[in-house]
Amino acid sequence: MIKFFRRIRKNLLSEGKTGKYFKYAIGEIFLVVIGILLALQINTWNQQRIEIKQEKEILSSLLDEFQYNFNELEESIAINEKVTQSCVKLTELIRKDSIDKVPEIVDQLLVNIGGFNSFDARIGISGEVVNSGKLNILKNGRIRAQLGNWLKILSDGEEDILFRSDNYTMNLMPFLMKRFPLANGELSKVLEFDKSNYLVTYKEKSPFKPNLNKSDLMEFENQIWHHKHNHDYVVINELIIRDFINATIEMMEEELKNRE
């Protein structure tokens, strides 16, 4: 093609057609510029297509991760709600001075209050997107802001989780172990991860009985209240995280729908 244009220019010069030569040269320059612009535009289109595809892949992976976390969080909230209810029920029994009258119920409630759960979010995809600079690939500013806050909102609740666990282990459990036959909890203990029934439990109740005087009852109420108080912070954090996850999922679903 270049040789063809060069031959035309040479013929025009040899024939002395200078005016036509300059017009032709300008036209040739124009065609070259148009060609360059078209090439740049095609390259831009290809780059945009690659980025759109990459963005959709990232959004789809993030959506899967957040939906998984939402389901896991719902389970955690349900488990922790049972702990709260058990704390309230125990407090009612303490105030009615009925601890000795319903030992089986008390045994089960003591098991329940120790069954609190901690939400462990899956952050492999979101962490990589935030920390690797891929966040800028996402065009939606609201989604970028959500992801930027995601890891922070998780870390904000870690202190409450640790405080609840430490208080239960260092304060409530020593009190219970001196006054209740906690081994009775073995009779109703179920470990969800024990799929093959490896767990071996006691067959008979403990021969010991609860041993509480009046002052113990007040301390017992205070211990249960303190455990519930610490637990409440974790529950509230989980409810906040659930709203956050739900809002993020809706944003991603809407964005993916707009990309179809």
What DSSP string runs through 113-149?
HT---------HHHHHHHHTTGGGG---HHHHHHHHH
Q: Nearest to residue 185, comparing CAs of 209, 205, 157, 208?
A: 205
Identify the residue whose tokens are 């922790």: 80
* Other beta carbons less than 10 A from residue 163's beta carbon: 13
Cα–Cα distance, 138 to 219 (Å, whole number): 54
Cα–Cα distance, 54 to 242 (Å, whole number): 27
Q: pLDDT class for 53, splitting at 50, 70, 90?
A: confident
Between the alpha carbon of residue 163 and those of residues 117, 119, 220, the distances in Å are 13, 15, 19
User: pLDDT per residue over 92-118, tens digit each?
Assistant: 999 999 998 999 999 999 999 999 999
pLDDT averaged over every residue in the chain: 85
User: pLDDT per residue over 201-240, tens digit each?
Assistant: 778 889 999 889 888 999 999 999 999 999 999 999 999 9
Q: Which two tokens stand for residue 14?
A: 């040899």
Long-range contacts of 153-160 (CB under 8 A, 24+ apart): 153/240, 153/241, 153/244, 154/121, 154/123, 154/241, 156/237, 157/234, 157/237, 157/238, 157/241, 160/230, 160/233, 160/234, 160/237
**How many structural domains compose the chain?**
1
Cα–Cα distance, 35 to 29 (Å, whole number): 10
Would you state the pLDDT for residue 50?
66
- Residue with the bigger pLDDT between 29 and 156: it is 156
Would you state the pLDDT for residue 234?
97
Q: Which residues 6+ apart lie within 8 Å of 248 measured at CB?
A: 66, 143, 146, 147, 150
Helix axes 214-258, 141-156, angle to 10 degrees: 160
Would you state the pLDDT for residue 192?
63
Range of the domain at 94: 2-258
Between the alpha carbon of residue 49 and those of residues 63, 96, 145, the distances in Å are 21, 70, 24
pTM: 0.79
Cα–Cα distance, 89 to 106 (Å, whole number): 9
Q: Nearest to residue 77, comparing CAs of 247, 246, 248, 242?
A: 242
